[in-house]
């Protein structure tokens, strides 16, 4: 890998707040690209059902999407090392465009089931290659003592685009344009993000020498043997966002028992992630000051356990009380943000092969999209919704205990 020397000590405003100046436009690109992802996530499943696609087929399409997201997440870091920074972003955009075109033009408009599967599977490879590869870029450009803050800005851009602007914006755009134009509109947002990160962002990291490419690919498998602590990282990252992908599967149904409308649920869910993006920034800065592992353990682990259980039990205690559930949801969004310093820890576990190390972390992010719904599918009928909530809570407690065994090269408390 060439041209990977971190920039000089912070002097400008961007560097002081944790954004590496060389790649500042990259954060804008991540935000814009993830808006394109988020514009369809909150309504696409019921829309397909309303158009006559069987519920089981829709579930299978989204499961296939989860598989390709997981694979791309795992490959993203090493793919970045092998192909180079800007080439990776361009390939991700081409996959997004091809997948969306096949999905909408043939799958949705011509109701071809095979195209629904193929198009969404192709699309699933795109956003991990685009966004999670940028985590490696940050690892090479951020100052070590501001690295957690830099990752906080990344997750601010990522979640702000997908879960906040994408979610709220989809409602406005659907009312103005209709569903099909919104699906095509996602390509425009992805193109804007690609333009920002490839054209406006002048920095680049060139691909590794050809002779090292197979070794880089092999490191996806060998790095866990040489750095077994990455297995703990994998588990911690899966647990991190379990509520993001697990709660929407059963909580809307659960809340109906207490009189909550779909509109109230969507409003609370969107506010949770609005809270999350704010605390992504605070968590990054807190991690640099308080200690990376302490932040994850106390806020992400133990705080996450308390908040996810409080979110489940609030309707039982307060009944149909929108504001009580909203406040508990804000706490949940805050605690999920407590995992931001994990990226900084992983970037400092190894001296080289940062791409492979971050690929393991990204694999955890991808697997979380599968693990959340799978957890509900396996246990909801056996032990009920309350059992699922307690499993999530206990997993968060486990994170609070095990994160202390994940130690960077230069120990950070």
**26-35, 152-161, 183-192, 301-310: lowest mean pLDDT where?**
152-161
Q: What is the pLDDT of residues 79-92, one digit of tens each?
A: 888 889 999 999 99
Find out whether 323 and 313 touch, Cβ atoms under 8 Å.
no
Question: pLDDT by residue (tens digit) across 367-390?
Answer: 887 888 888 878 888 898 899 999
Per-residue confidence band for 225, with pLDDT thresholds at 50, 70 and 90: confident
Nearest Cα to 96, choosing from 225, 201, 189? Answer: 189
Give the chain's mean pLDDT. Answer: 87
Q: pLDDT digits over 227-261, tens only?
A: 888 899 999 999 999 998 888 878 888 888 999 88
pLDDT at 14 over 90: no
Give the pLDDT of residue 248: 82
Distance CA 392, CA 175 (A): 36
Q: Above pLDDT 70, what percent of the chain?
A: 92
* Res 2: pLDDT: 45
* Confidence check: pLDDT of 153 > 90: yes
Q: What is the mean predicted confidence (pLDDT) over 107-114?
A: 94
Tokens representing 161? 């685009």
Which of helix, strand or coil describes residue 326? helix
Residue 124, token pair as written in the block: 């699933």
Place of tokens 């060389």: 22
The alpha carbon of 289 is separated from its chain's Cα centroid by a whole number of angstroms, namely: 24
At 355, is the pLDDT very low, low, confident or very high (cuts 50, 70, 90)?
confident
Q: What's the CA gap between 153 and 138, in Å, rounded? A: 10
Model pLDDT, residue 412: 47
Nearest to 129 by CA among 178, 95, 155, 171: 95
Q: Is the pLDDT of residue 5 over 90?
A: no
Residue corresponding to tokens 């559930």: 325
Query: How would DSSP label each residue in 282-312?
Result: HHHHHHHHH-HHHHIIIIIIIIHHHHHHHHH
Q: Which one-letter DSSP state was computed for residue 365?
A: H
Of 140 and 209, the structure prediction assigns the larger pLDDT to 140
**Spatial separation of the C-alpha atoms in residues 38 and 186, rounded to whole Å:** 9
Q: What is the pLDDT, as a whole number, of residue 273?
A: 85
The reported pLDDT for the residue numbered 1 is 45
Give the per-residue pLDDT at 85.
92
pLDDT of residue 311: 96
What was the pLDDT predicted at 210?
Answer: 56
**Is the per-residue pLDDT at 221 higher than 80?**
no
Which pLDDT does position 216 carry in this prediction?
61
Read off the pLDDT of residues 275-324 as tens digits, 9 standing for 90 and up.
Answer: 898 898 888 888 888 898 999 999 999 999 999 999 999 999 999 999 99
The per-residue pLDDT for 54 is 85
pLDDT at 212: 60
């Amino acid at each position: 890998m060439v041209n990977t020397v971190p920039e000089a000590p912070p002097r400008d405003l961007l560097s002081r707040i944790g954004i590496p100046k060389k790649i500042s436009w990259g954060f804008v690109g991540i935000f814009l690209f993830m808006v394109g992802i988020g514009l369809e996530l909150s309504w696409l499943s019921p829309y397909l059902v309303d158009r006559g696609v069987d519920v089981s087929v829709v579930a299978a399409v989204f499961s296939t999407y989860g598989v390709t997201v997981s694979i791309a997440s795992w490959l993203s870091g090493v793919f970045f090392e092998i192909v180079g920074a800007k080439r990776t972003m361009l390939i991700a955009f081409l996959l997004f465009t091809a997948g969306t075109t096949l999905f909408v033009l043939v799958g949705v408009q011509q109701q071809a089931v095979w195209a629904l599967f193929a198009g969404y599977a192709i699309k699933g490879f795109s956003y991990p290659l685009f966004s999670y590869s940028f985590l490696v870029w940050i690892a090479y450009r951020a100052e070590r003592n501001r690295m957690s803050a830099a990752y906080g800005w990344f997750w601010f851009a990522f979640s702000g685009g997908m879960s906040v602007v994408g979610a709220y914006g989809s409602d406005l755009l659907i009312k103005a344009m209709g569903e099909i134009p919104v699906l095509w509109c996602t390509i425009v947002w992805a193109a804007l993000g690609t333009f920002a990160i490839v054209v406006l962002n002048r920095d680049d990291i060139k691909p590794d020498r050809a002779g090292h490419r197979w070794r880089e690919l092999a490191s996806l498998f060998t790095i866990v043997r040489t750095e077994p602590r990455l297995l703990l990282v994998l588990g911690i990252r899966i647990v991190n966002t379990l509520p993001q992908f697990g709660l929407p599967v059963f909580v809307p149904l659960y809340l109906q028992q207490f009189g909550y409308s779909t509109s109230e649920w969507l409003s609370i869910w969107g506010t949770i992630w609005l809270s999350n993006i704010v605390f992504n920034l605070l968590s990054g800065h807190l991690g640099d000051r308080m200690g990376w592992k302490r932040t994850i353990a106390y806020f992400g682990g133990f705080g996450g356990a308390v908040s996810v259980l409080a979110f489940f039990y609030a309707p039982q205690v307060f009944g149909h009380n929108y504001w009580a559930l909203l406040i508990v949801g804000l706490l949940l969004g805050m605690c999920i943000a407590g995992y931001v310093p994990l990226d900084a820890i992983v970037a400092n576990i190894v001296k080289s092969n940062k791409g492979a190390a971050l690929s393991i972390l990204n694999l955890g992010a991808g697997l979380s999209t599968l693990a959340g719904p799978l957890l509900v599918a396996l246990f909801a009928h056996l032990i009920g919704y309350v059992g699922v909530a307690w499993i999530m809570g206990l997993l968060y407690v486990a994170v609070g205990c095990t994160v202390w065994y994940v130690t960077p090269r230069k120990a950070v408390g």
